[in-house]
Chain A
């Protein structure tokens, strides 16, 4: 059974703080993704990675960076959190051209 875990379910941060969100998968998937989900906007891709140390920008990369030092781990970094980054963040992983498996999500509130 595929398991994708995220480091926190809920997070409250202050404007300007550096925020780390971590995602771990146990299925040896090559591809990993970070999305944010906001009401009425669906799932928007922030960054994705198809191999260790590889990263590609998604549709809304501004204000975010990522790190993939190990195959099973994909981190999302908010260098200086802002209130417009308050959102639900979802991580996913997959084999190429196959279904994505999602983590439970992290609800981030930036005050």
Chain B
């Protein structure tokens, strides 16, 4: 099955700084790359995703970059705010009918 690793496992940044979380996967056939955010006590929710034919995607302060050759994709958050504090998960997918493996999560703390 797919091996998925996320780094770092915890990340503390000052408000206004940038944060980068990296997700490494093993299946070269993976073609869909989402990032989920889970706030304390809430369910995970999609914040941004990218497909294998695109190298980068931005949505206001968040962006995702994909390096298919190296088999990793990264979440970038600029101008961090306290409400960005949460656990972030990557979950690369291969096809539409295969199991999905989530990364173990990155706990981001934004210090006001």
Contact B91 A50 (CB under 8 A): no
Contact B100 A99 (CB under 8 A): no
Contact A100 B100 (CB under 8 A): yes
For the complex, is A31 an interface residue (Cβ under 8 Å from B)? Answer: yes
Q: Is the interface of A mostly helix, strand, loop or mixed?
A: loop
Contact B46 A100 (CB under 8 A): yes
Q: Which A62-107 residues have a C-beta within 8 angstroms of B?
A: 90, 95-105
Contacts of B32 in A (CB 8 A): 97-98
The segment from B57-65, B66-74, B76-84, B102-110 that touches chain A is B102-110
Contact B43 A96 (CB under 8 A): no
A43's partner among B31, B45, B49, B89 (CB-CB below 8 A) is B89
Contact B99 A45 (CB under 8 A): yes
Q: How many Å from the CB of B102 to the closest CB on chain A?
A: 4
- Per-position 1/0 for A1-38, Cβ under 8 A of B: 00000000000000000000000000000110101000
A50's partner among B34, B45, B46, B97 (CB-CB below 8 A) is B97
Contact B105 A59 (CB under 8 A): no
Q: How many Å from the CB of B106 to the closest CB on chain A?
A: 10
Contacts of A44 in B (CB 8 A): 102
Q: Which B9-42 residues have a C-beta within 8 angstroms of A?
A: 31-32, 34, 36
Q: How many Å from the CB of A44 to the closest CB on chain B?
A: 8
Could you list which residues of chain A lie within 8 angstroms of chain B, going by C-beta atoms? 30-31, 33, 35, 40-45, 48, 50, 56, 58-59, 90, 95-105
